[in-house]
Structure 1
Amino acid sequence: MSHRIQVNKVGTFTGHRDCVYAIEKASNPYQFFSAAGDGLVVQWDLQNPDQGKLLAQIGASVYALHFEEERQLLWIGQNFDGLHVIDLVSQKEIGSVKITESAIFDIQIWEGYVYVAIGDGTVIMLDKETLTIRKQLKLSDKSARCLAINIQSSDLAVGYSDHQIRILDLKTLTLKHTLEGHTNSVFTVAYSPDSQLLVSAGRDAQLKIWDVGASYSLYNSIVAHMYAINHITFHPDGRYFATGSMDKSIKVWDALSFRLLKVIDKARHAGHGTSVNKLLWTDYHGRLVSASDDRTLSIWAIDDLP
C-alpha cells in the first residue's frame, strides 16, 4: 500500500543575492550549507531560521558543494577557477587547486579520492590529501553535469549533456556501462539508499529508473514534470524521493511504487515562484530543503498520514 503524506512549509531562508544552486548537508542534522550565483557560501541552522553564517565569499558563481565529514571540510567548486577547501573547525581555507576554466557542476568523495564533473565534459579524480590529479577522463564534448557513487558496486554514475549516462569504475574510471534513454541533457543522478536502483532525470522532464543488478537495464520511465528536472533527493530511510523542476514545483514520489504522492507548488503550498534548482532531504525531523532561482531556500515538513 502506498504512503499518504502531508506537506507544510515551515520556513524560508533569505540572504542570497542571486539564484541558489547548491545545498549540502552538515555534520549536525539540523544544519546545512548553501551556495549561489552571488559566490556566497552560507551555513544555516534549521533550529534558528533567521541566522545564516557566511563561510566564504567567492568571486564567481558556485554550483557544487561537498561536505567531507571525516575531516570536517567543505569542498567548494568555484566556476572558471577550481576547487577550494574550507576547514569548518578553523573556518579557514586550507587548500585550493585550479583544475579547470570551465564550470564545476558536481563534487563527490569516496575514500581517498575527489571526483569532479566539469562543463567541458571531463571527469577529474584527485587525491583528496594532496589535491593532485590522479586521473581524468573525457568521454564527451558536452558537459559532465552530475555524479553519484554506489559503493556496493564500486560505480560512479555520470550524467552528461549529450543525453547519456556513463557508469565508470570508481577506482580506475574505466567505462563499465553507457545508458541511453534520455532525449536531452541529464542534470541529476541518484542511487537509492539500498544501492539497487539508479534514478536519473534532466531537461527532457522524465524520470528514468535503472536496475543496477541487471546491468543497469531500464526498469521504469515516467513523464514527471512539465519542464526540466534539476535535482533528485531520497528521503534518508529510502521510502520517498523528491524531484525539483524548472516548472517551479517539487514532487514527492513513493520510492517503491514510483507513484506521485504530492505536488508542492506556489498555488497549493506557497512554494517557489521560479525554478527549483536543488533539494536536500535532511535527518532533522525529515525536513526537506529546496533552493530556487528566486534566491530563497524553503523548508518543508513532510509527514506520514495515518
Structure 2
Amino acid sequence: MASSPDGVISELLRDERPAGGREDRIAAAPPRGDDQAALARRMRRRAVGLGILAFLLAVAAIAALVAQQVADLQRRQQDGVALSLQLVATVLRHLDTDPDLAARAASEALRRTADAAPFVRGQAEDAARRALDASRLRLTLRGHTERVNAIAFSPDGALIASAGQDGTVRIRNAADGAAPAELRGHEGEARDLAFGPDGKTLASVGDDGRIILWDVVRGERLRELPRQPEPLNGVAFGPDGEIVATVGRSPVVRLWDADTGGLLANLTGHRAQVHAVAFSRDGRHLATAGSDSALRIWDLLSGRALHVLEGHADTVLAIAFSPDGRWLASAGEDRRARLWDVASGAAVRALPEQPGAVHAVAFSPDGGVLATGGSDGSARLWDTADCTRPAGECQPLATLAGEGNPVTDLAFDTAGTRLATTGTDGSVKLWDVGFGHAGAIRSLAFSPDGKRLATAATGTDATVWELGSGKVQHRLAGQAGTPSRVAWSPDGSRIATTELDGTTAIWDAAGERPPLLLRGHTGRVNGIAFSTDGHRVATAGRDGMVGVWDAASGARRLWLRTGAAALNCVIFSRDARSVLTAGADGGLTEWNAADGKRLRSLQQRGDEILDLALSPDGSLLATAGTDRIARLWGLTGGKPVRSLAGHAGAIDALVFSPDGRLLATAGRDRSARVWEVASGAERLVLPPQDGAVHAVAFSPDGRLLATGGDDRRVHFQPLDPGQVATALHERVADGLTDAECTRYLNRNPCPP
C-alpha cells in the first residue's frame, strides 16, 4: 500500500533519531558489519520515501495548476461569452441609429465567436446578418480633423472631393477612399467646392474670401479668382465651365469668368448673407438662397430675378435643381425641405417636418429621388414623383442614419447608386442607394449569367439592374405601367413581364427592340414561365385562363380554361410537355401543354396556392400559399412528401436553389426562410424586413439570395457565414474604439 506524504515524513524522522543518548552520540563506536547493513537499509528507505514524497508533491502541484488553469479557462470562456453577447446586443440596439457602429460590432462578434458554442455563434451570425441587411453604409472615409462642410463627386464618378473646417480640400478615389491629393491653400475653413464639367478643375471657397481653382489631375493650385473681403459660403460652376458663381456674407451674388477671373455680373436683391447657389443643367437659370429666408431664381441672360420664392420661416441653407430643370428643392433651419416649380415659381410641396435643421438637398441623376440631410444625423430619400404630385403621399423611401453626427452636405454619384454624406465628426460616408423602388416589389429574377437582376414593382416600370454597380441598365415601359411578374428566358436574351391589364410582353433583354405583346387575358396576369428550351411561354391569369405562346412569334399555341377560379401561377414540367397550374381554390393540376387535356389533379381543392416551383431535376414540386405551409410533392407519385412549417403568415413566393438542395420561401410575416430539401429542416431565417416579402430568388451560383417586398428595396443575403463576415469586413475599416468599448461594453481598453 502506498504511504501518504505525512506517513513517509514520519518514517523518515523516525529513521533519523539515534538509538542512544547524548554520550552515545558523542563517543559512538565504529559501526560493525550488521550496523552498516542496517544503515544502508535506512538510507535506501529514506531515498525511496523522498522520491515518493517528491512525486506526490509534484502530482499535487500539477493537479492544483491544472485546476487553476481550468478555472481560468472557464472564467475566460464565460467572459468571452459575455463579451460576445454584449457585442450582439450593441448590434441590435444600433441597427437603425448607427449602422456603422452596428457593422463594426457585428464584425467583432463574428471574430470572437469563431470557435464558440453553437448557440453563441448562432447569435453572432444572426446579428451580423441583421447588420449587413440593415446598413446601406458601404465605406467610411476619414482624414479631416474637424467638420466636413461640403462634398462633390467628379462628373465621371471616379473621384470624390470634400472641404473641411480644417481648411483642407481632399480628393479621393470614390471606389476605395484612397486619398491621392490633399490640397492646402485656405487660411480658414474651406466652405464649399464644385467640380468643373470636364472634371479636371475643382473650385473651392472659404472663410478667407479666397476662390481657388485646382488642377485635379496634378493636385495643384491652378489659379485664383479675385479674393473677396468677406467669408464665402458657396460656389458653383456653370454647365459650360466658363462661369463661376460665388455667394457669401455679402447679399450680392457674383459671377466670374473662370478663365480670366474677370467679374461678369453682380446680382443684387437678397437682404442678408447668401448661403447657397446652384445652376440649372441647361445654364439658363441660377438659384440662390440665404438668411433672408427667400429663394431667388435668376435669368442669366438678363441678370434679373425671375421669381422670389417665399415660404421658409427661417434661413435657407441649401438648394438644388432637378436634372430636367423642372423642380427646385430647398432646405433650411425651419426643419423643412420644400419643392418649387421653376417655370412658375409656385410652391409645390413642403416635405414633412424633420427633427432638426435640414442642411443639404440633392437630386439623383435621373431626378427620381430627392435626398435631404439634417442635424439629427439622418439622410432621407424621397420619391420625387410622389412629392410633386398633388395627391402624392410624400413619405421617406428610406432613412440613412448616423447617430450623433449631423449631416452637413450630401451628393449622389453620377450613376445614382451611391450617396455621399458629410458630418461634423470629420467623416465622409458612402451609402448604397441602388435597387430602390417607388412601390412594393412583386417579383424579381436573376439573369442566367448572374450579372443582372430584373424586378417588377407597383407603380413603376419593370427594371433591369446591373448587379455589380446597382445601376439601372434600362426600364421596360409597359402600357399599363405596373408589371406584376418578371421572368428571364433560359439563354438570358429575353425578359417576359406581365401587366395588370392582361398584357404579357416579351422584351429584348438588351433593351434594343420593341416588345412582343401577348394579348388575350381579360384581367391581371399572375403567372408566367418560359419552357426549359426557351421556345414557349406559359401565362396564367385571374380570368382562370392558361395560355401557351410561341416565344419568338407571339402566336398562341394553347388557350385553356381551367375553371372558374383565378389562377395565381403556372410552370412547365422539365420536359415542357405539360404545365402545372394552381390558384385561388387551392386546385393543383397538370395539363398537356399541346392539347390542354387534364393529365392529373394533384389536389382538387384547398387553401389558396400563391406560388409553384419545380426542382432542377424535375422530381419535386413545391407549393405554398395562404395556409402558411410550404409543401414538397413527388411528381412521380403525385403525393405530398414533406411539409415545411415556420411562417406566421401567407407564403407569397418560393424557389429551389440551383443544386436543388435548398428551398427558399418568402412570406407576409416579413420573413424569408431557407430550408433543407432532404430533411425539411429550417436552415436559416433571414432578418425581418419592414413589410411583407413578396419575391425571392437564388443567384445562379446559389451563393446569394435576393428578396423584395413592401419595403420597396431589394435585399441581398449571402448564404455562407464566411461570406457574411467578408462582406462586413469590406464595409468597416476599423474595429471599435476604446471610447466605444467603454460606452457600450464597459471595458477600457478594448479587449484584444
TM-score under structure 2 normalisation? Answer: 0.38
Q: How does 1:1-306 map to 2 (within 5 A)?
A: 8-51=136-179, 53-70=181-198, 72-110=200-238, 111=240, 112-152=242-282, 154-213=284-343, 215-258=344-387, 259=394, 260-265=396-401, 271-283=402-414, 286-304=417-435, 305-306=713-714
Q: Render the CA deviation track for 1:267-294: whole Å, top value 9, x for unaligned.
A: xxxx252210000111357111100111
| Partner-residue secondary structure (3-state), 2:250 | coil
CA distance in 2, matches of 1:222, 1:284: 25
Task: Please say which of residues 119-128 and 73-82 is displaced more in the overlay.
Answer: 73-82
CA distance in 2, matches of 1:284, 1:35: 22
CA distance in 2, matches of 1:250, 1:139: 32
| Partner-residue secondary structure (3-state), 1:120 | coil
What residue in structure 2 maps to residue 268 of structure 1?
none
Length, aligned pairs only = 296
Per chain length, whose mean CA-contact separation is higher, i.e. which structure has more relative contact order (CA < 8 Å, sep 6+)?
1
Q: Render the CA deviation track for 1:227-263: whole Å, top value 9, x for unaligned.
A: 1111111112222111010121111111110221112
Is contact 1:6-1:302 (8 Å) kept?
A: no
CA distance in 1, matches of 2:407, 2:340: 24
Letter in 1 for 2:404: G
Letter in 1 for 2:360: H
Letter in 1 for 2:321: Y
Change over 3 Å in CA distance of 1:7–1:199 after alignment to 2: farther
Q: How much has 1:53 moved relative to structure 2? A: 2.8
Change over 3 Å in CA distance of 1:240–1:108 after alignment to 2: same
What residue in structure 1 maps to residue 63 of structure 2?
none
| Partner-residue secondary structure (3-state), 1:256 | helix
Is contact 2:366-2:416 (8 Å) kept?
A: no
Is contact 2:382-2:397 (8 Å) kept?
A: yes
CA distance in 1, matches of 2:374, 2:199: 33
CA RMSD of aligned residues (A): 2.0
Is contact 1:6-1:303 (8 Å) kept?
A: no
Is contact 2:358-2:374 (8 Å) kept?
A: yes
Q: How much has 1:103 moved relative to structure 2? A: 2.1
CA distance in 2, matches of 1:71, 1:32: 11
Q: Render the CA deviation track for 1:138-172: whole Å, top value 9, x for unaligned.
A: 32341111112224482111112101011111233
What residue in structure 1 maps to residue 36 of structure 2?
none
Letter in 2 for 1:29: G
Is contact 2:167-2:188 (8 Å) kept?
A: yes
Q: How much has 1:17 moved relative to structure 2? A: 0.7
CA distance in 1, matches of 2:155, 2:341: 31
Structure 1 portions without partners, runs of 5+: 266-270
Is contact 2:329-2:339 (8 Å) kept?
A: yes
CA distance in 2, matches of 1:93, 1:108: 18
Higher share of residues assigned strand: 1
Letter in 2 for 1:123: V
Change over 3 Å in CA distance of 1:272–1:73 after alignment to 2: farther
CA distance in 2, matches of 1:227, 1:114: 31
| Partner-residue secondary structure (3-state), 1:257 | helix
Q: Render the CA deviation track for 1:183-202: whole Å, top value 9, x for unaligned.
A: 10111111112211111111
CA distance in 2, matches of 1:85, 1:50: 22
| Partner-residue secondary structure (3-state), 2:434 | strand
Is contact 2:155-2:199 (8 Å) kept?
A: no
Change over 3 Å in CA distance of 1:49–1:82 after alignment to 2: closer
CA distance in 1, matches of 2:155, 2:433: 22
Is contact 1:164-1:181 (8 Å) kept?
A: yes
Change over 3 Å in CA distance of 1:261–1:251 after alignment to 2: same
Is contact 1:42-1:55 (8 Å) kept?
A: yes
Q: How much has 1:70 moved relative to structure 2? A: 2.9
Segments of 4+ moved more than 6 angstroms: none
Structure 2 portions without partners, runs of 5+: 1-132, 388-393, 436-712, 715-752
Task: Please say which of residues 124-133 and 94-103 is displaced more in the overlay.
Answer: 94-103
Letter in 1 for 2:311: G
Is contact 1:79-1:101 (8 Å) kept?
A: no
Higher share of residues assigned helix: 2
